[in-house]
Structure 1
Amino acid sequence: MPHCLLVPFLLLGTVVLPVSAQDGERPNRRGGFGGPIVLAEDDVAFYQAPPQGFKTEREDIPHGKLEMVEYESKTVGTKRKMQVYTPPGYSADKKYPVLYLLHGIGGDETEWQRFANVNVMLDNLIADRKAVPMIVVMPNGRAQKNDRAEGNVFASAPSFATFEKDLLDDVIPAIDAKYSVEADAEHRALAGLSMGGGQTLNFGLTHLDTFAWIGAFSSAPNTKPAKELVSDVDALKKHAKLIVLTCGNKDGLINISQRMHKFLQENEVEHVWHVDEHAHDPQHWSNSLYWFAQNIFQDQPAAQDAAAKN
């Protein structure tokens, strides 16, 4: 495992936040929301950037289906929406694994699609046999009756914690009932960007009986301390198939991911730690999803092969 500049603004989901400038005495310190960026020796890229056109539609391959689905949320007390991708050739005669993708504080159920062209990316990966056919669910992580990203989006931060119950009690059962899925942890993955990255760690690490594949990209300050999330290191080692942490080295929130990485490293929990040249931005999240999607729901993910060699 792979063990002065000013940042003028920071994207948090779809919200642009001004950040304080730092005088930057050292070459590896940058000003940013969340404090100065201090990079360690192992804060480096684990995988290469995707090739050109990785999320550009190709006419010569089969295409999956993207649809907006309503479900009854007992947690919120209303009907809610989620966007769902089913792979090319989807059939009720086959069982599929499911990836749940969580958005940032300024987004909604459409954010991942807008940022990463998820259906096109998956169509391309599946056609090239780089990813297994899977269902991708993009729910709204703002578990409140008015779940639109409007007004002061930071006031809705508590609803992102409430979404844990909505996800487990309402979203997943709705998907299991409507689609032909393998309904167990080994066939469920959870990933998210920014606020959704924090949700992924908060929910995924504490529900290993539900999710075996975890990807947290540019995790936000809603991320709980690692010691609070991991009460049993041996159980984490046993049940987690893949844990991926990513962040950009120009992202003022990198210290959050660094702390999680350090905890896993100190407890000898195998994981992927990837730091690229991006900030808190959609390109980093698209790149992270491109790699993550290729390394889930497989008996021996390429990520684990690569980790074993480092």
Structure 2
Amino acid sequence: MKMITAPEGYDQYRENIPRGIIEEVEYPSSTVGNPRKVMVYTPPGFSSENTYNVLYLLHGIGGDEAEWYNHGAPQIILDNMYNDNKLEPMIVVLPNGRAMPNDRAEGDLFDPEKIQAFERFELDLLDDLIPFVESNYPARTGRENRAIAGLSMGGGQSLNIGLGNLNHFAWVGAFSAAPNTKAPEVLVPDTLEASSLLSMLWLSCGDQDNLMHISVGVHEFLEQHEVPHIWHEESGAHDWPVWKNGLYLFSQLLFKRQ
């Protein structure tokens, strides 16, 4: 499915608009065995008197909890979108998807132990991070109030975790999903169940991305089995303009009730 790209200036800092807050916090992880860092964005006008949907937004293999912040400035994109009345109020949680004691993006990023840590993150997310967020923020609980999305390795994680835990997530997105993505028939073993439970499944990728075949393979499987989803092929490679555009397009569809 072709969709428009974000308008010019969507990712540029605007003066004199209400702003959200993005900050680094720590949460206890029984999965890893030590406290872990996570960045949390709360929207403009955030108040503990209200309750909020939550988007878990994941980074790539070379990043950590600050990768989106350092390279994608999601808080600027989201602040602008709130000012344009394009978003439902949501908390955005930016975790470190490398669930191991030394979770820094250093050394051999493809070391088997580090790849296993990306898989282990599923337990850290479900058992530690989500309970922390829902205990410490006015977060709405329930699958229909949670979304998961990510870029590259984080896109693969989002598909693996989101589609593997439809009791936790109704909204799933992947921007340029990497080869850690499970085979489509493993991701969606019950196409009827997935169709009935998913509020939205989003796949996007740049047309010059060497990993395009990963996303295309999932898209074609979903299409063949008539699982509703949004497929967005755009101009670009495996890089930030594609991922930021994915966030812009994906986030404004989240938590909209039909």
Answer whether TM exceeds 0.5 for this pair. Answer: yes
Alignment correspondent of 1:5: none
Which residue pairs with 2:186 in the alignment?
A: 228
Q: Which residue of structure 2 lines up, in the alignment, with residue 141 of structure 1? A: 97
Q: Does 1:88 align with 2:47?
A: no
1:137: Cα distance to partner?
0.3
Matches within 5 A, 1:101-250: 101-155=57-111, 156-250=114-208
Q: Aligned residue for 2:223?
A: 265
Question: Which position in structure 1 is the counterpart of 2:20?
Answer: 64
Deviations 1:138-177 (CA, angstroms, capped at 9, x unpaired): 0000000000000111111111000000000011001001
Q: Over the residues paired in the alignment, what is the CA RMSD in angstroms?
A: 0.8
Give a deviation string over 1:108-127, Cα, whole Å, max 9, x none: 00111122211111111111
- SS of equivalent to 1:244: strand
Q: Which amino acid aligns with 1:58?
A: R
1:253 to 198, 211, 214: 211
Q: Could you tell me how far apart the structure 2 residues matched to 1:212 and 1:79 are? A: 28
Instruction: Tell me which amino acid in the other structure corresponds to 1:87.
Output: P
Q: Is residue 107–residue 149 contact of structure 1 (8 Å, CA) maintained in 2?
A: yes
Length, aligned pairs only: 256
Distance across 2 between alignment mates of 1:238 and 1:61: 39
Instruction: Say if 1:97 and 1:181, in contact at 8 Å, map to a contact too.
Output: yes
Stretches of structure 2 lacking an aligned partner (at least 5 in a row): none
User: Cα distance, 1:94 vs. partner?
Assistant: 0.6
Q: Percent same amino acid at aligned positions? A: 51
Any gaps of 5 or more consecutive residues in structure 1? 3-45, 301-310
- Given that 1:188 and 1:211 are in contact with CA atoms closer than 8 Å, whether structure 2 keeps it comes out as yes
Q: 2:30 aligns with which of 74, 82, 86?
A: 74
The DSSP-based 3-state class of the residue aligned with 1:291 is: helix
Residue 307 of structure 1 corresponds to which residue in structure 2? Answer: none
1:285 aligns with 2:243: yes
Deviation (angstroms), 1:86:
0.2
- Which structure would you say has the larger Rg? 1
Counterpart amino acid of 1:246? S
The answer to whether the 8 Å contact 1:115/1:286 transfers is no
Structure 2 residue identity aligned to 1:223: T
Task: Write out per-residue CA displacement over residues 33-63 of structure 1, whole angstroms, 9 at most, x where no aligned residue.
Answer: xxxxxxxxxxxxx211111211112122110
Tell me the alpha carbon deviations over residues 218-242 of structure 1, each in whole angstroms, 9 at most, x when there is no partner.
0001001111121211110111000
Q: Which amino acid aligns with 1:277?
A: S
Matched AA of 1:194: S
Q: Which of 297, 300, 305 is the matching residue for 2:255?
A: 297
Superposed, 1:45-64 pairs within 5 Å as 46-64=2-20
Look up the equivalent residue of 2:254 and give its one-letter code.
I
SS at structure 1 position matched to 2:125: helix
Per the normalisation by structure 2, the TM-score is: 0.98
Q: What CA distance in whole angstroms lies between the structure 2 residues aligned with 1:184 and 1:94?
A: 16
Shift of 1:265: 0.2
Distance, in Å, in 1 between the alignment partners of 2:144 and 2:256 is 10
